[in-house]
A and B are shown apart, each in its own frame.
Chain A
Amino acid sequence: MATIVETLTDYALPLRFEHLPPDVVHQAKRLLIDTLGCAIGGFGGEPSVVARALAESVSSRQPATVLGTGRETSPDLATFANGVMIRYLDFNDGYTSQESGHPSDAIAAVLSPAEIVHGDGRSVITATVLAYEVFCRLCDAVSVRARGFDHVTHGVVASTAGAAKAMGLSRAQTIQALNMSVAANSALYQTRIGDVSLWKGCAFANASRNAVFAAMLAAQGLTGPSPIFEGPGGFFNAVSRGPFALAPFGGDRDEALRAGVLARSRATRAGGEGEGQRLRRGESPSARGHAERGRARDRRGRARHRHRSVSPRPLEESHDRRGDRSQVPRAGR
Chain B
Amino acid sequence: MTDGEIEAKFRGLAGDLLPAQTDALLERLWNLDQVKDIGEVIKMVRRS
Interface, chain A (partner B; CB < 8 A): 17, 25, 29-30, 32-34, 36-41, 43, 65, 67-70, 89, 91, 111, 114-115, 118-125, 304-305, 307-309
CB-nearest residue of chain B to A308: B1
Contact B30 A29 (CB under 8 A): yes
CB-nearest residue of chain B to A44: B17
CB-nearest residue of chain B to A41: B13
CB-nearest residue of chain A to B1: A307
Q: Give A111 to B33 CA distance when docked, in angstroms.
A: 14
Contact B33 A67 (CB under 8 A): no
Q: Give A70 to B5 CA distance when docked, in angstroms.
A: 27
Question: A65-B39, A118-B37, A124-B32 in contact; A36/B1 too (CB < 8 A)?
Answer: no
Interface, chain B (partner A; CB < 8 A): 1, 3, 5-7, 9-10, 12-14, 17-18, 25-26, 29-39, 41-43, 45-47
- Which residues of chain A are within 8 angstroms of B39 by Cβ–Cβ distance? 65, 115, 118
Question: A40-B17, A121-B41, A123-B38 in contact; A33/B10 too (CB < 8 A)?
Answer: yes
Question: Could you count the A-B residue pairs with CB atoms below 8 Å apart for me: how many are there?
Answer: 97
- Which residues of chain A are within 8 angstroms of B43 by Cβ–Cβ distance? 65, 70
- Which residues of chain B are within 8 angstroms of A36 by Cβ–Cβ distance? 10, 14, 25, 29, 45
15 contacts between A and B (CB under 8 A): A25-B33, A32-B29, A36-B25, A36-B29, A37-B9, A37-B14, A40-B18, A65-B45, A68-B46, A115-B38, A118-B38, A118-B39, A119-B37, A121-B38, A309-B9
Contact A37 B32 (CB under 8 A): no
Q: B37: which of A30, A68, A120, A125 is its contact (CB, 8 Å)? A: A120
Contact A33 B29 (CB under 8 A): yes
Q: Give A70 to B42 CA distance when docked, in angstroms.
A: 8
CB-nearest residue of chain B to A32: B29
B11 to chain A, nearest CB (A): 8
Contact B6 A33 (CB under 8 A): yes
Q: Give A307 to B35 CA distance when docked, in angstroms.
A: 27
CB-nearest residue of chain B to A26: B3
Question: A33-B10, A34-B10 in contact; A111/B46 too (CB < 8 A)?
Answer: no
Q: Give A40 to B10 CA distance when docked, in angstroms.
A: 9
Contact B38 A39 (CB under 8 A): no
